[in-house]
Structure 1
């Protein structure tokens, strides 16, 4: 449990329980500067068991590549506070000296050049081990594959944006060239969709329900677009059922454009603007919860206003009696207009001149009650819920983005492995070597490098490879204080610091994702940032935001790990 925080504590006494320890935690050392008004005595309640015979523990090659212990043994970290950066060193290479395969994992470790591939990511995802997935070594692998796919992702976004603009312009003027262009886009998108579905059916043991929904929605989008483009040509061959044909030709463009817009937003989720799409979905979900109040209120006031204004002759408040031989659909349309007018009044566009023009008590009082209930109370309730949802989403957005990008990497690696062609001018995605040096600065910027000496047989391989991995065992530390009373000084991210005094308390200390990585004793090489413009663009368009997964800087770690909600 490293990188706790810089805090001012005066403790009366508590017990700290840690799990998955890889080394002793020195709470009084320089890395954990705890300042107290009383001396601190740290005693190891449950010390680590050591082997008396001096024999080495189980080698890390025998550990499954889906545990924190495995990735910790392959990683080293160095906190350079003076330079305000963190340096991670990883070893992704396989062990060529061990030809035997693990019966449990099969060819997972030895099927490629590196210990992580799409199978490891898939197993972690299926086992819901997102804590392991957030390990810096796994995140670096995912990020490197994302950067490798940045060019193709950009092509996908540009192609669908052109397709959406072409489809929108097709409404105002459609020519044969536009019809052929839209059809070509549909054919390309449909080809890759069928390819993706074939890989899922061939490799995956099960297909999720949401994948089927998304797949069916895409098929419906392309089908509606294709029919919208070519049905006018087909309908022009005869003059039968013109009214029904006009309804179809009027409805298909609406379905095609709206569904294409939804698909475009779905593609943009992996972009830097994906968080705003999540906000839209979160607000829509909250609106679904409050709709149990909003819909009955809307219907009640719609009928009330319709009863008052139906004889005024003002649209849309029309009486059913004035519509001669009105069908059921026409009557429902009158009700729909009344509901629509009331809904526009609910968002602030009251426009009550027609109602107040009746110069009657009841309509005026009804408008006043309507403004209080809907415009003031209900709408402010919806706005406050939306603000709260957006605030909560900012804390969990990186986790949602990680799940989406991991799925994207898995599908890209599967596609590369299944359909690799000989003679291509570039190296396939699943065969590319991952950069094993990650440098993260305090401002969130980062760069990666490849150091061949960190792999098996390298000159400095002993710095990155752990020879022993200790067992998974809980640790307990008793912290005692010679003076009573406890004072906690809290430094929030915003606002001034303040102190809280307790007679007794329990504290929740959150372990960071890099806490189990052994510290690199010597200083690492001075790696420089030589990223090109294309590399920087790839980081911006689809790369991971490391500040959402790694606690960078003392102030950031303090705000992450200690808050008023964590102390009781």
Structure 2
């Protein structure tokens, strides 16, 4: 332990333009370890000296996020503030998930059984979603003075899907007034519900990223991104074998390969494209293992049999195993980085919620006015207790050493030491790879337990426990417990 007398640590007040740093967070934090109870207690001071509210707000969080100072954001002082705001937003987040889940199920129900009541109900849901989307965009443009490209893309996508949903609900009623262009109307009314139901599914998954199931959604998107990279191999292979099988099987009468030579004179361009699409679809199902070789082998010809053998080797064995190995690697990588990705999403969510609370302050929704519990007790099993208590004014007995987490990964690489300030040191190491990452509690002043120290007990209600599970932070993942 370092002696606190060696370092001056006054509890100073920040200026209006000062940035929050690790030193500032350490000055307003204390740590007390209780080995008998296998717990660690953090105590924070969030109040200003002038009693003008708390030091942290959405502006400070946005500065840290814009400056990409994730080392500071991962400090327990900041994480505890973010976690409490997330728990305060649990009711709104639960209603958000429930609303989109009901909307998704309602659309699926409407496809099979439609009536006027469901039409109006879907229209009401769409109108409410549209209102909140416009409200979110207005606040972001008004408060932040700028919007990102991804937000504009997401905004346009949602506007398009809401318009498609309303068109799916009400266009059949409009089309019923006349019988002109029935084929076009049939295609439109058949295509619109597909857009509506898929967009509702995508929005539901997007919202659930902040839930405990968010890691699986990240896995799916990560694998999809890897597939987009390998598509440069997969798509040409698919097209090549599709046309090869189409040329070989076109005279056999086996579906989906028709007798093109006999029907080519009477086929339109659309029908020809449909034949090609069916051939590509059939070949894609064969690439995932459904080879169905009997129809091809029944031709009793050399070339089709050899083509099936080459197809199985290249696609079913080589290409599919390549895709599986990439997916396994992506899942392993995501397990190591999932906490950082989820933290970024939750920080952005807290910033938007605080902005909304600040712009529309009222007696029911005053998130930015709620005081943050300044005591955090974390057990070794990852559970935690949040409560209020007076910040200790006694001098700390020591300052935590610069602790590093060490993990052995591969052999024959190098030693990499990365501090929270961004400085990286490397050294050659024989037959091992050690990654040293400075722990988040490094540098926090330590206080001793005394007989008069308060014992904090878990007084959470069922709703608080549910809120922690639904949207709260996983402290075991962020503090390496």
TM-score, with length taken from structure 2: 0.89
**The one of 548, 551, 555 aligned to 2:477:** 548
CA distance in 1, matches of 2:164, 2:393: 58
Give the equivalent residue in structure 1 for 2:386: 448
Give the equivalent residue in structure 2 for 1:151: 91
The answer (yes or no) to whether the contact 1:87–1:439 under 8 Å persists in 2 is yes
Give the equivalent residue in structure 1 for 2:446: 519
**The one of 198, 201, 216 aligned to 1:261:** 201
Task: Quote the offset at 1:283 in angstroms.
Answer: 0.2
Give the equivalent residue in structure 1 for 2:284: 343
The answer (yes or no) to whether the contact 2:30–2:42 under 8 Å persists in 1 is yes
Q: Deviations over 1:437-460 (max 9, x none)?
A: 001111111110111x22xxxxx4
- 2:118 is aligned with 1:178: yes
Give the equivalent residue in structure 2 for 1:355: 296
Task: Quote the offset at 1:118 in angstroms.
Answer: 0.5
Give the equivalent residue in structure 2 for 1:436: 374
CA distance in 2, matches of 1:465, 1:319: 88
Task: Quote the offset at 1:328 in angstroms.
Answer: 2.1
Q: Gaps spanning 5+ residues in structure 1: where?
A: 3-22, 26-47, 51-55, 98-109, 455-459, 470-474, 476-489, 494-501, 553-568
Q: Deviations over 1:271-330 (max 9, x none)?
A: 110100000000000111111111111111111111111110111112432323322222
**The one of 393, 398, 414 aligned to 1:461:** 393
**The one of 253, 256, 264 aligned to 1:316:** 256
Give the equivalent residue in structure 2 for 1:100: none
Task: Quote the offset at 1:364 in angstroms.
Answer: 1.0
CA distance in 2, matches of 1:152, 1:261: 20
Give the equivalent residue in structure 1 for 2:419: none
Larger RCO: 1 or 2 (CA < 8 Å, sep 6+) = 1
Q: Residues 445, 504 of structure 1: CA spacing in aligned structure 2 closer, same or farther, 3 A cutoff?
A: closer
Task: Quote the offset at 1:49 in angstroms.
Answer: 8.4
**The one of 350, 353, 356 aligned to 1:409:** 350
- 2:18 is aligned with 1:90: no
CA distance in 2, matches of 1:157, 1:428: 21
The answer (yes or no) to whether the contact 2:41–2:376 under 8 Å persists in 1 is yes
The answer (yes or no) to whether the contact 2:43–2:375 under 8 Å persists in 1 is yes
Task: Quote the offset at 1:138 in angstroms.
Answer: 0.5
Task: Describe how 1:132-171 pairs up with structure 2 within 5 A.
Answer: 132-171=72-111
Give the equivalent residue in structure 1 for 2:13: 61
Q: Gaps spanning 5+ residues in structure 2: where?
A: 410-428
Task: Quote the offset at 1:134 in angstroms.
Answer: 0.5
Structure with bigger gyration radius:
1
CA distance in 2, matches of 1:115, 1:147: 19
Task: Quote the offset at 1:507 in angstroms.
Answer: 6.5
Task: Quote the offset at 1:218 in angstroms.
Answer: 1.2
- 2:461 is aligned with 1:537: no
Task: Quote the offset at 1:508 in angstroms.
Answer: 5.3
CA distance in 2, matches of 1:257, 1:464: 59
Which stretch has the larger CA shift, 130-139 or 65-74?
A: 65-74
Give the equivalent residue in structure 1 for 2:313: 372
CA distance in 1, matches of 2:396, 2:230: 54
Secondary structure, aligned partner of 2:436: coil
Task: Quote the offset at 1:81 in angstroms.
Answer: 2.2
- 2:156 is aligned with 1:227: no
Q: Residues 314, 57 of structure 1: CA spacing in aligned structure 2 closer, same or farther, 3 A cutoff?
A: closer
Q: Residues 507, 177 of structure 1: CA spacing in aligned structure 2 closer, same or farther, 3 A cutoff?
A: closer
CA distance in 2, matches of 1:504, 1:188: 60
**The one of 432, 437, 461 aligned to 1:510:** 437
CA distance in 1, matches of 2:111, 2:9: 70
CA distance in 1, matches of 2:333, 2:430: 32
Q: Deviations over 1:240-270 (max 9, x none)?
A: 2222111111110011111111011101101
- 2:58 is aligned with 1:118: yes
**Corresponding residue pairs, total:** 452
Task: Quote the offset at 1:373 in angstroms.
Answer: 1.2
TM-score, with length taken from structure 1: 0.76
The answer (yes or no) to whether the contact 1:150–1:538 under 8 Å persists in 2 is yes
CA distance in 2, matches of 1:93, 1:208: 33
The answer (yes or no) to whether the contact 2:397–2:446 under 8 Å persists in 1 is no
The answer (yes or no) to whether the contact 2:58–2:351 under 8 Å persists in 1 is yes
CA distance in 2, matches of 1:463, 1:353: 82
CA distance in 1, matches of 2:112, 2:151: 34
CA distance in 2, matches of 1:74, 1:346: 60
CA distance in 2, matches of 1:202, 1:130: 26
Q: Residues 507, 221 of structure 1: CA spacing in aligned structure 2 closer, same or farther, 3 A cutoff?
A: closer
Q: Residues 132, 408 of structure 1: CA spacing in aligned structure 2 closer, same or farther, 3 A cutoff?
A: same
CA distance in 1, matches of 2:397, 2:351: 27
Give the equivalent residue in structure 2 for 1:101: none
Secondary structure, aligned partner of 1:438: strand
Q: Residues 463, 430 of structure 1: CA spacing in aligned structure 2 closer, same or farther, 3 A cutoff?
A: farther
Give the equivalent residue in structure 2 for 1:560: none
Secondary structure, aligned partner of 1:115: coil
CA distance in 1, matches of 2:249, 2:255: 9
RMSD, aligned CA: 2.5
The answer (yes or no) to whether the contact 1:91–1:464 under 8 Å persists in 2 is no
